A and B are shown apart, each in its own frame.
Chain A
Amino acid sequence: MSNILIQNGRVIDPSQQMDRVTNLLIADGRIAAYDAEPNGQDTTIDASGKIVSPGLIDMHVHLREPGSEEDETVETGTAAALAGGFTSIACAPNTDPPIDSQGTVEFIQGQAARADNCNVFVIACVSKNREGKELAEIGQLVEAGAVAFTDDGDPISSPELMRRAFEYCLMFDKPVLNHAEIRELTERGVMHEGLTSLILGLPAMPVAAEDVMVSRDIALAEATGGRYHLMHVSTGNSVDAVRRAKRRGVRVTTEVCPHHFTLTDESLRSFDSNFKMNPPLRGAGHVKGCIDGLIDGTIDAIVTDHAPHAKEKKMQELDRAPFGIVGLETSLGLVVTKLIEPGHLDWSDALARMTCNPARILHLEKGTLQIGADADVTIIDPTVRWTVDPGRFRSKSTNTPFAGWELTGRAEVVIVGGRIKFDRR
């Protein structure tokens, strides 16, 4: 493995509060030195005008394999991740069969090794067969390498199961991730309940469906001491509930998706199913609530909830089309265009949500450029203007609401474990 010298880049590493122009040397797959000089032997990358970041981490991705390989595979999903600048992703267990056994965890790990794109960490089911009834064999799943537990795709509806999950995962110091939704309040819903749903006559999902379960989960985390991670927060009220819980010392973290700080429910006026996701696109006040939560640090991570669906499934009547959009290849551009350019976050605060923060939540030894760390590095062109063209996605699916959008900022070179895995130059 040859050494790589990244020259003259602006290294921004929130894990070390570092923001300076330097030469970064990668040797033997690890971060070896700063301020290094070229010695003639190394592969050199001119990063002048570029940002050198710890490899981006997306802790909420649906890879669809096994079971729905027509939507995505581990290979295509990890290729999309690289193109989006991600060196590590964590994949959700709502596959078929679901990831609730050592065998399925090892299958994903094997597929990821064969694809040899980015690092893949496995999030396993909280409940056996993801049925929401009894705990999966969490101890053995941890031994197989599962980094966290969720029944995502579905909420953990039973408060008793949620309590048990918090208690049991304490033994392994693993977080329980939940999709917060009281299903009885969202039955048949396809969009956010508001003026737009009223005018369009579409069955709707009230904000309270999320807020009620978030409050429940915070109470259960507080009572058990468990580690609670709220997935894809979408309402201002839930952001505020997390904010207050953190102040009390409850062990709660949360994440937000780019579409929830970018789009509102009014997009559904197009009746385009690429605007149908769960949680749904909310009103402008909730978008602001999510941005405020990012600004004040309540929201720890930015994730994509990358949810590929083959065209024949997604391009249906709104009530039949499945929830979800792809996100890996647009996330960084949306963060730059919608959070950094308008001045909501600076580069360091934004990158923290995509590097060291998710690493901390999942206890990954990733997301840092400290000497000796795995050489996972993303070199970002922070000023390039580009147009989202789903036809060029590496993902197998193209279900994005951002087709045709002009975005700023894109990953240019992606290095995983000291090897250049993606190079747009």
Chain B
Amino acid sequence: MLITDTIDVGPVPQAWTRRHLLGLEELSAEEITLILDKAMIFKQAISEGKRKIPLLPGKTCVNLFFENSTRTKTSFSLAARRLGADTVDFSSSTSSLSKGETFIDTAKNIEAMGIDVVIMRHRTPGTPKLLAQNIDVPVINAGDGPHEHPTQGLLDIMTIRERRGTVEGLTVALVGDIAHSRTARSNIWGLKKLGAHVIVCGPSTLVSPRWAEIDVEYSYSLDDVLPRVDVLNLLRIQFERQFSRPFPSVREYAHLYAMNRERLAKTKDDILIMAPGPINRGVEVTPDVADGAHSAILEQVTNGVAVRMAVLWLLVGPRNM
């Protein structure tokens, strides 16, 4: 038996005017807060056992993934289905796209089948923006190379806000492969807009001093920053995006940057530890810390579904005309 519940969220607010969600850089603090507020409503409903909230009946969401993904795609699919929408998957690694067919051709073909929103992941920065310029339905960026991954940034910020009540005034350290991390970039924009102080920390080959030009603190020493951070977000080393090895060995990386029990002892008592996953256990974080009391890693995953429901609803949901 299908359990259907309704919740009263009203029409999509007038304040929301975006057609696409391409990144957090372009959003205002008010828009980010609006998404997070709506996500909290959806999270509450889910936690009350409401598994089907049919706010998007008859809508069709396409997962257009040119790069492998399991968690993000599943999370988006679940979010769409909980809202009563249908989902279709189109997955294609670059190599299998037939020669001569561009991703825009592929997208236009899928658009012609009659769909309502495209959720796109691609290895190349900017591709969702090019897609948005070429088709007539909303586009959600589910990760474009190392550029942005807005729903990941939103779910990270939602987790911080939920745990700490506010983001403003907190010091948040993003640790690891900043150079290749879209999660880092979306977090940087979102956190800064909401008033947090952001530190990027990692080996000097992966952390550019140029971050200081946009008021992001950079550090090469995790041990130095640990005592003054409120939140640690441990980013995965993106071996697949690195052209030349930026550090001598995984062992040396773990020695300098792995979040372990000894390092945990140097932090504030109420430190919040997050990781956007999938984590390399023992590299970015040791299992005892990942599974410990300070960790919010699984909560991030839960919040991911709620954030994606909010984004889908804002982009595709009913509006008062």
Q: Do A and B come from one complex?
A: yes
Determine which of A187, A188, A203, A317 lies in contact with B122 in the assembled complex, contact meaning CB atoms within 8 Å: A317
Query: Is A200 a contact partner of B243 (Cβ separation < 8 A)?
Result: no
Residues of A within 8 A of B102 (CB): 312, 315-317
CA A195 to CA B123, docked complex, whole Å: 20
CA A320 to CA B144, docked complex, whole Å: 14
Query: Is A198 a contact partner of B211 (Cβ separation < 8 A)?
Result: yes
Residues of B within 8 A of A318 (CB): 124-127
Query: Is B124 a contact partner of A317 (Cβ separation < 8 A)?
Result: yes
A318-360 contacts to B (CB < 8 Å): 318-320
Q: Which of A194, A201, A318 has the most CB of B within 10 A?
A: A201
The 8 closest A-B pairs by CB, nearest first: A271-B126, A201-B146, A201-B147, A317-B124, A201-B125, A319-B124, A195-B210, A202-B125
Residues of B within 8 A of A316 (CB): 102-103
Residues of B within 8 A of A317 (CB): 102-103, 122, 124, 126-127, 130
Query: How close is A328's CB to chain B, nearest CB, in angstroms?
Result: 27
A1 is an interface residue with CB less than 8 A from chain B? no
Known: A187-B243, A312-B100, A312-B102. A198 touches B208 (CB 8 A): yes
Residues of A within 8 A of B125 (CB): 200-202, 271, 318
Query: Is A195 a contact partner of B126 (Cβ separation < 8 A)?
Result: no
Residues of B within 8 A of A187 (CB): 243-244
CA A273 to CA B122, docked complex, whole Å: 16
Query: Is A315 a contact partner of B126 (Cβ separation < 8 A)?
Result: no
CA A312 to CA B122, docked complex, whole Å: 19
B73 is an interface residue with CB less than 8 A from chain A? no
Nearest A residue to B211, CB-CB: A198
A199 is an interface residue with CB less than 8 A from chain B? yes
B8 is an interface residue with CB less than 8 A from chain A? no
B15 is an interface residue with CB less than 8 A from chain A? no
Q: Mark B173-214, 1 if CB is under 8 A from A, else 0.
A: 000000010100100000000000000000000001011011
CA A316 to CA B101, docked complex, whole Å: 10
Name 15 interchain pairs, CB-CB below 8 A, sorted by A. A187-B243, A201-B145, A201-B146, A201-B148, A201-B185, A202-B126, A202-B145, A312-B100, A317-B102, A317-B103, A317-B130, A318-B124, A318-B127, A319-B123, A320-B124
A184-199 contacts to B (CB < 8 Å): 187-188, 194-195, 198-199
Query: Is A195 a contact partner of B213 (Cβ separation < 8 A)?
Result: yes
CA A85 to CA B234, docked complex, whole Å: 58
Query: Is B147 a contact partner of A200 (Cβ separation < 8 A)?
Result: yes
B104 is an interface residue with CB less than 8 A from chain A? yes
CA A202 to CA B129, docked complex, whole Å: 14
Query: How close is A51's CB to chain B, nearest CB, in angstroms?
Result: 40
Query: Is B104 a contact partner of A315 (Cβ separation < 8 A)?
Result: yes
Nearest B residue to A316, CB-CB: B102
Residues of B within 8 A of A199 (CB): 25, 185, 214
CA A275 to CA B244, docked complex, whole Å: 26
Query: How close is A273's CB to chain B, nearest CB, in angstroms?
Result: 9
Query: How close is B181's CB to chain A, nearest CB, in angstroms?
Result: 8
Interface residues on B, range: 20 to 34
Interface residues on A, range: 10 to 19
Question: Apart from A200-B125, A271-B125, A271-B129, what are 10 other A-B pairs with CB-CB below 8 Å?
Answer: A195-B210, A199-B185, A200-B126, A201-B146, A202-B146, A202-B147, A317-B127, A318-B125, A318-B126, A319-B123
Nearest B residue to A317, CB-CB: B124
Query: How close is B125's CB to chain A, nearest CB, in angstroms?
Result: 5
Nearest B residue to A196, CB-CB: B210
CA A176 to CA B122, docked complex, whole Å: 41
Q: Mark B213-230, 1 if CB is under 8 A from A, else 0.
A: 110000000000000000
Residues of B within 8 A of A319 (CB): 123-124
CA A320 to CA B94, docked complex, whole Å: 11
Residues of B within 8 A of A201 (CB): 125, 144-148, 180, 182, 185
Nearest A residue to B213, CB-CB: A195
CA A320 to CA B125, docked complex, whole Å: 12
Nearest A residue to B134, CB-CB: A315
CA A316 to CA B102, docked complex, whole Å: 6
CA A318 to CA B124, docked complex, whole Å: 7
Residues of B within 8 A of A203 (CB): 243
Query: Is A271 a contact partner of B214 (Cβ separation < 8 A)?
Result: no
Residues of A within 8 A of B122 (CB): 317
CA A187 to CA B244, docked complex, whole Å: 9
Query: How close is B71's CB to chain A, nearest CB, in angstroms?
Result: 20
CA A398 to CA B102, docked complex, whole Å: 18
CA A315 to CA B126, docked complex, whole Å: 13
CA A200 to CA B147, docked complex, whole Å: 5
Residues of A within 8 A of B211 (CB): 198
CA A320 to CA B129, docked complex, whole Å: 16
Residues of A within 8 A of B25 (CB): 199
CA A84 to CA B7, docked complex, whole Å: 65
Q: Mark B73-113, 1 if CB is under 8 A from A, else 0.
A: 00000000000000000000000000010111000000000
A167-225 contacts to B (CB < 8 Å): 187-188, 194-195, 198-203
Query: How close is A217's CB to chain B, nearest CB, in angstroms?
Result: 25
Query: How close is A67's CB to chain B, nearest CB, in angstroms?
Result: 18
Query: Is A195 a contact partner of B182 (Cβ separation < 8 A)?
Result: no
Nearest A residue to B123, CB-CB: A319
CA A319 to CA B208, docked complex, whole Å: 22
Residues of B within 8 A of A271 (CB): 125-127, 129-130
CA A300 to CA B211, docked complex, whole Å: 37
CA A203 to CA B125, docked complex, whole Å: 9
Residues of A within 8 A of B244 (CB): 187
CA A194 to CA B214, docked complex, whole Å: 12
